[in-house]
């Protein structure tokens, strides 16, 4: 059924669903604290319960696999239901009738998205027609030189933007679209004279498709001497960076082989042309949380194929860690001699690349080999002390005892020592994390709400006690939040508190779809502070606000000092100096506040 389930229905479903009763149908829960219940996580294998349910916050969270959310999220995950299906499932159990609505705002958004898709589709047709005529011969010649066949060109919908100022813009207007619609879709822009001109000119055009195969954006590779080798569509309602994987609409069709994760457009296209049809591109150098979640939902192994330079190494490590959190089996292979997959295929061929894939390593082996490379001099001599320090740090951070033992054997061979000696040092470092060294070990610090980041704690405290917002002389502004993600939700918090409807569920609903990284902070924090209604909360809130204010003015001071150093304009230096005095005065004022 088309339409949007009203927020009031969703709120009613959540308020009338007993999350403890719901989860208990799947998990044997036991109360281990005054406020939370624990059990073995139903989403991953474990022997020690790390799955927690908070009746007061009406949420679940696993400290092992990091899945968490409200009752709708739980039933969606465990029964593999879409969001609307999960809402209806719980509503039926609670005896709530689910209606859908298409208010003016919803209809308008749907219409805007429909028009955006049509503009993008018409643009793709225009580019494809252009590459198919004489005007596109140079672009086709370029593709042939890179081993891209006509079949691959068609599969990816490649096209050509002519070397003209406004050919596409005129075409879109003739097709019935307005100037603003062409601009909103990112295909046209205003010139300095106010006329409508094309964004992409003299470029090989690469459509970016979403998971279901609809065009959401374009990438354009320069065919001339333009300094910008690649330019991409601006972000729109349909396209947000880090939300899509290039080529996934094609790669998902092969359900047998692991996904090959590469970086750029032509890495993907060249691999598909060479027969590696599960290649997908990150559309950037680093994997995002949303991309990792998308891969996890497909429940397929992944092989990361990234450049062998330092950026590629760090990107591989970050991506493998994101995927491990979501229990995606991940191997890593670096493209040797600092080549990307596209160049490697051109120089060495598909057969060689196939052999290269057989050298893929799991995350720990990869980290150990990188450590060995880092501590080996050009002469080939290994810095034993540096290497053993790094590899024992790596193994100490690994929670899986079996993996620690297996990899200790590999490290021991390099160090020419026994696996037992490596494991002994690893165990010492793991103990050191929990017990400080010295003649009189201090007791383990008790975790409190103050252990949370100040920004997260402020928001969580407000969900329990919105009245704290009006604490005397502690008014917050967006600039007080350093984290861009948290700052984005400041207007929502402010408006919801004014309307007396701010709650943890309201905050969670707003954040979980847009910012999984913030959910990773808020959910465990909410579970840890669940039921904490003591007078200490107000004092901790005030301390957190003061800390935010001090950090804000410290940032402003640093930025002003840097600006003063970089300018030789005396008047500007004087102006910046006055601003610096104001920021310093504010910093000192907040530093002297007492709670």
Delimit the CATH 3.40.1360.10 region(s) of the chain: 248-359
The residue among 219 and 44 whose pLDDT is bigger is 219
Helix axes 504-512, 490-498, angle to 10 degrees: 150
Give the per-residue pLDDT at 447: 33
CA-closest candidate to residue 370, choices 414, 423, 403: 414
- 528 pLDDT tier (thresholds 50, 70, 90): confident
Max avg pLDDT among 236-240, 362-366, 532-536: 362-366
Burial class (CB in 10 A: 0-12, 13-18, 19+), 442: exposed
Q: What is the mean pLDDT of residues 542-557?
A: 86
Q: Is the model's pLDDT at 549 over the cut of 60?
A: yes
- Average pLDDT for 111-132: 95
Q: What size, in residues, is the chain?
A: 595
CATH number of 7-94: 3.90.580.10
- What residue spans in the chain does CATH classification 3.90.980.10 cover? 104-232
The per-residue pLDDT of the chain, averaged, comes to 86
Query: What pLDDT score does 44 carry?
Result: 83
The 10 Å Cβ neighbour count of residue 409 is: 12
Question: CATH number of the domain at 248-359, please?
Answer: 3.40.1360.10
Percent of the chain with pLDDT over 90: 42
Residue pLDDT, tens place only, 238-295: 998 788 999 999 999 998 899 999 998 999 999 999 999 999 999 877 898 888 888 8
pLDDT band for position 532 (cuts 50, 70, 90) = low
Most confident range (mean pLDDT) of 75-79, 86-90, 214-218, 493-497 is 214-218
The pLDDT tens digits of the residues spanning 412-471 come to 999 999 999 999 999 998 887 655 433 434 333 333 333 347 777 888 888 878 888 887
The per-residue pLDDT for 34 is 63
* pLDDT above 80 for 475: yes
For 450-591, CATH gives 1.10.860
Mean pLDDT of 57-67: 87
Q: Are 221 and 265 in contact (CB under 8 A)?
A: yes
pLDDT recorded at residue 215 = 95
User: In which residue ranges of the chain is CATH 1.10.860 found?
Assistant: 450-591
Average pLDDT over residues 321-328: 88
**Cα–Cα separations (whole angstroms), residue 580 to 134, 148, 473, 565, 575:** 61, 57, 22, 12, 9
Distance CA 259, CA 323 (A): 12
Q: What is the dihedral of CA 333, 339, 342, 348, to 10 degrees?
A: -90
Q: How far apart are CA 489 and CA 495, in angstroms?
A: 10
Q: How many whole angstroms separate alpha carbon 429 and alpha carbon 299?
A: 35
The pLDDT of 387-400, averaged and rounded, is 91
Q: Are strands 68-69 and 59-62 parallel, antiparallel or unpaired?
A: antiparallel
User: Which CATH code is given to the segment(s) 104-232?
Assistant: 3.90.980.10
Amino acid 33: pLDDT: 64
Mean pLDDT to the nearest integer, 142-152: 93
Between CA 283 and CA 147 the distance in angstroms is: 21
Q: What is the pLDDT of residue 477?
A: 83
């Amino acid at each position: 059924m088309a339409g949007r389930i009203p927020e009031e229905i969703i709120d009613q479903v959540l308020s009338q669903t007993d999350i403890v009763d719901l989860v208990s149908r799947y998990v044997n829960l036991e109360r281990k604290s005054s406020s939370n219940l624990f059990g073995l996580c139903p989403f991953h294998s474990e022997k020690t319960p790390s799955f927690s349910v908070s009746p007061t916050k009406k949420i679940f969270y696993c400290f092992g696999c990091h899945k968490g959310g409200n009752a709708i999220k739980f039933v969606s995950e465990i029964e593999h239901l879409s969001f609307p299906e999960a809402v209806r499932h719980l509503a039926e159990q609670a005896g709530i009738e689910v209606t859908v609505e298409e208010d003016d705002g919803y209809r308008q958004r749907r219409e805007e998205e429909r028009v955006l898709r049509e503009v993008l589709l018409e643009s793709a047709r225009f580019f494809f027609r252009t590459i198919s005529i004489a005007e596109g011969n140079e672009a086709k010649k370029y593709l042939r030189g890179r081993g891209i066949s006509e079949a691959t060109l068609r599969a990816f919908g490649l096209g050509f933007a002519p070397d003209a100022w406004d050919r596409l813009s005129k075409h879109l207007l003739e097709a019935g679209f307005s100037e603003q619609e062409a601009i909103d879709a990112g295909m046209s822009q205003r010139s300095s004279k106010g006329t409508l001109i094309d964004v992409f000119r003299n470029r090989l055009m690469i459509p970016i498709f979403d998971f279901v195969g609809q065009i959401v954006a374009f990438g354009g590779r320069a065919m001339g001497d333009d300094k910008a080798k690649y330019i991409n569509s601006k972000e729109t309602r349909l396209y947000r960076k880090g939300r899509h994987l290039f080529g996934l609409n094609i790669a998902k069709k092969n359900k047998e082989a692991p996904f090959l994760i590469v970086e750029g457009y032509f890495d993907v296209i060249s691999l598909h042309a060479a027969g590696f049809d599960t290649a997908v591109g990150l559309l950037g150098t680093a994997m995002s949380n949303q991309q990792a979640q998308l891969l996890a939902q497909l429940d397929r192994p992944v092989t990361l194929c990234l450049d062998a330079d330092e950026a590629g190494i760090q990107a591989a490590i970050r991506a493998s860690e994101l995927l491990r959190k979501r229990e995606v089996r991940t191997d890593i292979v670096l493209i040797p001699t600092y080549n990307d997959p596209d160049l490697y295929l051109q120089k060495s061929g598909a057969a060689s690349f196939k052999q290269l894939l057989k050298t893929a390593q799991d995350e720990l082996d990869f980290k150990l080999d990188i450590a060995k490379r880092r501590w080996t001099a050009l002469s080939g001599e290994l810095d034993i002390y540096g290497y053993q320090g790094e590899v024992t740090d790596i193994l100490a951070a690994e929670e899986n005892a079996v993996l620690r033992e297996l990899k200790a054997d590999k490290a021991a061979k390099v160090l020419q020592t026994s696996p037992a000696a490596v494991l002994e040092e690893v165990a010492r470092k793991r103990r050191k994390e929990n017990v400080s060294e010295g003649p009189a070990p201090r007791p383990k610090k008790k975790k409190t709400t103050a252990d949370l980041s100040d920004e997260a704690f402020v928001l969580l405290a407000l969900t329990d006690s919105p009245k704290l917002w009006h604490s005397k002389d502690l008014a917050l502004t967006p600039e007080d939040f350093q984290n861009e993600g948290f700052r984005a939700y400041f207007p929502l918090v402010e408006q919801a508190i004014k309307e007396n409807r701010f709650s943890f569920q309201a905050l969670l609903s707003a954040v979980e779809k847009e910012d999984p990284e913030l959910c990773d902070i808020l959910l465990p924090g909410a579970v840890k502070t669940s039921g904490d209604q003591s007078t200490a909360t107000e004092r901790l809130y005030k301390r957190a606000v003061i800390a935010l204010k001090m950090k804000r003015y410290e940032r402003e001071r640093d930025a002003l000092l840097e600006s003063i150093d970089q300018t030789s304009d005396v008047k500007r230096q004087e102006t910046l100096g006055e601003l610096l005095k104001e920021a310093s005065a504010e910093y000192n004022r907040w530093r002297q506040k007492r709670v």
